[in-house]
Each structure stands twice: as C-alpha cells, then as structure tokens.
Chain A
Amino acid sequence: MPKMHMVDALNTALHQEMGQDDRVIVLGEDVGVDGGVFRVTDGLIEAFGEERVIDTPLAEAGIVGTSIGMAVHGLRPVCEIQFSGFSYLAFHQLEAHAARMRWRSRGAYTVPMVLRTPYSGGVRALEHHSESREAYWAHTPGLKMVIPSTPRNARALLVSAIRHPDPVVFYEPKAVYRAFREEVPEEEETWPIGKARVVREGDDITMISYGAMMRPTLEAADRLAEDDGVEAEVIDILTIAPLDYETFAESARKTGRVVIVHEAPRSFGPGAEIVARLVEKSFWYLEAPIRRVTGYDVVIPLFAYEKAYLPSAARVLRAARETLETPA
C-alpha cells in the first residue's frame, strides 16, 4: 500500500471516482489549471478535460447553486469552496435549496452533491482561513456533515460522499493535509457516512473528537497510558451529522468518564450535542461531569495567538486528568 498525505489521498479518490463514473464533475475556484490552491484537484483537468473540471468565475453562491442544478439533473458534482470561511457566501444555496430540494419536491428531485472545503486552524493563515464552523451545516436538516482525520479515512469517506444520495458538506482539516503520511490501499475503499470509529480501545475514560483535533487527542491518550497507567478509549466521530451516538454512548457506559475535544467554538458546538446524547443515553453510567476542550467563543485570532486558542494535547491531558480525579 502506498503511503500518502491527505491531499494525495483525496486526489486519489477524485481520480478514481471520475474515472469510473462520468457523472462526477469537479468545479470551483482554481481547481483546474492551478490544481486547487492546496493541490487536492491536481491533474484532474489533464485527465478529464475542461468540461468535467471547471475553473469557475469567483462566486461561491454560483458554484453551489449551479452544483444543485447539475445534481438535480443526474450529475454528481463535487464542488470546492476554497476556504470554509468563504462558504457563507453560499449559505442560502445550501440552506434554502441543497438541503431542502428532496423535501420540497416530495422526493421527486434530489441533490447528490459534495461540497469539499478546507477548515481548521494552525497553518498561520489570514483571517477567514482558519475557522471551524461545522455546526452551521450540522444544524441544517437535509445536509450531511463529514470531517475526516487521516489520509486513509479521508479517501474512504470522500468516495462514500460522492456516491451518497444526499448533499454532503465535506470539511477537510487543512492542518492535516500534509502533516503525515498513511498507507492508503490502491483498491477501492469506502467508509459509511454516519459511522464513527473506535481508534483506540480502553476502559478508563472515553475521549471523543474528530478532524484535526484527533492528533492532540490521541497524543493525550498515549501520555495517559505512559504516565498515568490509564487506558483511554478514543473515538473519531468522522460524521458530525448524522451523529453516530450509539458508538460513543456505549463507550461512555463502559468508562463512565468522557472528554470531548473540538476546535470549533464551545457554545452550541458539536460537543454540546454529544453531551446531550450522552445525557440521554448513558446518564446513569456517568461517574464524573463530562468535559469539553474546545476553541473559545471568540473569533479565532490571527496566527500570533492561534496556539493559545486551539486545544493542545496538554489541555486535553489536563481535562482528562481532572475528569479521572473526580471520585466515582
């Protein structure tokens, strides 16, 4: 199995899906000749031509709105918004139309499109290039919201998203794009939308995260094992909406202690929904208050203070220890 970065794994998914399904169209700003500003779509225009790989005019609403039309007519558009901070210029297209076409037409028309867009901080970027606002889309009935965390699951999830019958907002953690390589099988691989994954098993505490925050979370779990002799169970959510609550609720029933990690602002963030599900499904098994390690409820600072804003392994570790210290 070749080892690759997340950008190359995503590129592989696009190449393979476009190669076997001529309904798949890629469109967005700079996705063609430039190969995407992060090179995720590199080589596609050479392989599949300008009709299937479209350098669009600079208009996010235009990109998403035309994708909706293409999808209704049977194509499988995979559109790119260059940074998630610019996706709000297409908010109405997603909320008012992509999310509701199936509902409004009583199932006659559907929108099997994917909106790919990089999110996450930690790359010394400009304003609007570092946010984590998945809650907007997760809160919108009719949209699916996916966030991979490694090259392999990114490839598998993107393939599933392209084949999915409903619109999928696909957030790519740009801090992970070229952070590490992982073996990705050449043969086709998928991962179901709506399914979380236990990536580390343990009986003492449950740690729940996704996307770029999986790395500090796993690092904290390793430290707990090495320094404290504590075995954490770590769950990668992978799909934010619909949430696979059974996987983490079951883990919480086993460990009784939970820490949730995300870089999105805390209030009304995915962590709040996870807590609610845990209270509904595992309340009688909990032995300590659930803790959230998150971004603060502020505009993510420009890069000088970014590190202080983003959850670190040290922050996750401290929260986990506090949770563990609470007597049962």
Chain B
Amino acid sequence: MPREVIDLPYQMDYLSILDEDGQLMDEDLEPAIPEDRLLQLHRTMVLVRRFDERMLQLQRQGRIGTFAPVRGQEAAQMGIVAALRDSDWMVPSFREQAAAIWRGQSLESILVANGGFYQGNAMAEGTRNLPVAVPVGTQPLHAVGLSYAIRYRGDDDVVVTFFGDGATSQGDFHEAMNFAGVWKTPTIFVCQNNQWAISVPRTRQTASKTLAQKALAYGIPGLQVDGNDILAVYVAGEEAAERARSGEGPTMIECVTYRLAVHTTADDPSRYRDEEEVEEWRRREPLSRFQTYLKQKDLLSDGDIEAVEDEVKKEIQDAVDRAEKRMDELAGEELSMFDHIYAEVPPYLREQRDELARELQAKEGNDA
C-alpha cells in the first residue's frame, strides 16, 4: 500500500455553559463552585473592570503611561486562575491584570509600574507569578521550563501561561508547545483569542479554523471555549489542571473572547475595525453574563451589585492615593537604575553610578 490515509483525530470540543445572555444552557455542565467563591470572583471581576476604567482615565490625564486595557477579557483570565492553587505558577504576557489581581498582585503595584517605575514590578513574596512579558509569544517557553523543574522536584504544581492570538504566529510559541508535548510537562497554554493583534484580525493571523487545533500537531489536547463565559473557562481550566497534576501532560485552551478597548492607549482602533463588530461583542461581555447567572441562582441582587461597586470604588481610590504617594517618594531614586542588573555591582558600574550621582547633583545646583 504505497499511499494510504493516516487516521487523525481531527475533532475539537467547543465548550460554553452560559448563553449570550448569561442563562445556564446545560445544568449538567455547571461546575460546582462554592457560593462564596462565586461571589469572590464576581467582586474581583467588578474590581478589575472599574480599575481598568480608572487606569484609562489616569493615562489620559498623563498620570500613568501607555498600558494595555483588559476590558472584555476578564472571564477568559479569571476562570483559568480560579481553578489553580496558589502554589501553581502563572506566566503572563502583558494584558493579564485580571489574572494577576486575582492571584494577589496589588492595584498599587500595577499603577506604580505603569507610572514608569520598575519598582512596581517587584513580585510580592510568596506569589508565583512571573512579571509581564512584552515581546509577544516569548514567555510560554518559560512556562514549559518551570513545569519541567516542578516535576523534577517531585511536586504536583502546574503552570499556566497566557498569550494572545497573535502569539500563535511566533516561533517561540510553537517551540514551547512542542517541548511540552515531548516532555509531557504540567503546562496549561491559554490563548486569549481576542480577535485582534493590534490591527490584524484573527483571520489574517492564521489560516487555521481554530487556534486550539494547533495543539493537535504537537500531540497534546486542545479545547476551544467561550472565553466570555466564566463557567466554561473555569471548567476548561480545572480539567487541564487535573490532567497536568496527574501526570497526563499539557493542554491548550483557546478562550474565544474580544478586546473591547484599544490595544494599548497609543492605539486608535477606528482605523481598522467597525464599531458594529465591537457592539456585537459588547452584548456578550463577560461581567453582565456572570451577573445574570448569579442573579438567577439568587446569589446576587441589584442591591448587592451596588454595594460591591461602592466597595471597589473606595478600594481603587485608596490604591490610587497610595500609588501616587509612593511615586512621589520614588521620584528621586534615579540611582536605583543600577540595582538588580547583576548579583554584584561590578566596579565599572559603581563608577557609572557615582557619575550619575554627580550629574544629579550638578542638575540640582543648576535648578536651584
């Protein structure tokens, strides 16, 4: 038989549990998330949404720099990390504020980093989150290395890495998937397919029908989920985490979601996409769907939502106040640019540090 058909399992699940209005479609698929956990997720989602809006305001006022808003992708991130343990690792790209806040990163530190101070990137002790990775698609390899090390140490923690639809075009992404498949590492690859890589739509990024199917080529399971349905994302994350923890290897999850805001605050989407498309996705945004679900379960009332809104408003204001105070304090610490380059400061860098100190003094003299 010189030429025969190779039988490939060319099928892929698409999972959604809530419909576009937030109604439960199939009770059998509903995850058993404790009520207090559901309310905690809701509170954090409101916090993330309002914080994102506040950051946009601060950026427009020139009080912080360019940043990448997360609006619309809250469920696609939080559903995953809600299914993780604190000792699991998270390896983000640059738009994962929702996941980071759920995993303990302070609002204050996010503001300080976006205010141009690297001090805001200091990772809080005990958290296992890598700092943001700006070069697209470069970080999934680190997740595979972390997962290998976890298994080498005999632990059962897992690693989740986030990246976008654009990242699936990068070589590093494919290398990471391939290594994970070969090494069978406890890695969860989460693609935030928000439909746009700046101005390039998903359809121009790859000729594949789905992004999840990239997993098939590497011999690892792939799954596509409604990324604006926090229950579906949670179920996918939980399944993948269980597989990874029990030694069955990596999974790729494609969260189908939408970037409702700008790519970054330097971007003008009106140049490349129609408002009708945005409006279409706005109807399916994750927060209101989650709220509908919680209301139907009698876990949440309009009054509760109002109370949560008031709480997070105050929490955000406190964080902004603290961050501004902190940034004022840090403003004169230019010499810290020589910190954390190496374990020890080599002599030539000490000389340059002294040189900068003299420059700053001379400048002060001139200004006086």
Q: Mark A112-153, 1 if CB is under 8 A from B, else 0.
A: 000000000000111111000000000000000000000000
Contacts A/B (CB < 8 Å), 22 sampled: A29-B200, A55-B204, A57-B200, A58-B137, A58-B205, A59-B170, A59-B171, A61-B170, A62-B169, A62-B171, A89-B170, A126-B66, A126-B94, A128-B135, A266-B352, A297-B352, A298-B337, A298-B338, A301-B337, A304-B115, A304-B117, A305-B333
| Chain A residues within 8 Å of B94, by CB | 126
CA gap between A296 and B346 in the complex, in Å: 13
Question: What's the minimum C-beta distance from B28 to chain A, rounded to whole angstroms?
Answer: 38
Whether B341 lies near A298 (C-beta < 8 A) is: yes
Question: What's the minimum C-beta distance from B138 to chain A, rounded to whole angstroms?
Answer: 7
Whether B327 lies near A296 (C-beta < 8 A) is: no
Binds A, one of B239-247, B249-257, B360-368: B360-368
Say whether B199 faces chain A, with CB atoms less than 8 Å apart: yes
Whether B206 lies near A37 (C-beta < 8 A) is: no
Say whether A72 faces chain B, with CB atoms less than 8 Å apart: no
Closest 5 A/B residue pairs (Cβ): A58-B166, A304-B116, A34-B199, A303-B116, A57-B169
Q: Mark A296-328, 1 if CB is under 8 A from B, else 0.
A: 111101111110110000110010000000000
Q: From A124, A299, A301, A305, give the contact of B66 (CB < 8 A).
A: A124
| Chain B residues within 8 Å of A318, by CB | 359, 362
Q: Smallest CB-CB separation from A299: which chain B residue?
A: B341
Total interface residues on B, CB under 8 Å, equals 53
Q: From A57, A61, A62, give the contact of B204 (CB < 8 A).
A: A57
Say whether A30 faces chain B, with CB atoms less than 8 Å apart: yes
Say whether B14 faces chain A, with CB atoms less than 8 Å apart: no
Q: Given contacts A33-B272, A37-B266, is CB(A57)–CB(B206) below 8 Å?
A: yes
Say whether B152 faces chain A, with CB atoms less than 8 Å apart: no
Q: Smallest CB-CB separation from B330: which chain A residue?
A: A304
Q: Which residues 342-366 in B have Cβ within 8 Å of A in the complex?
A: 348-349, 352-353, 355-356, 359-360, 362-363, 366
CA gap between A126 and B118 in the complex, in Å: 10
Question: What's the minimum C-beta distance from A121 to chain B, rounded to whole angstroms?
Answer: 12
Q: Mark A277-305, 1 if CB is under 8 A from B, else 0.
A: 00000000000000000001111011111
Say whether B19 faces chain A, with CB atoms less than 8 Å apart: no
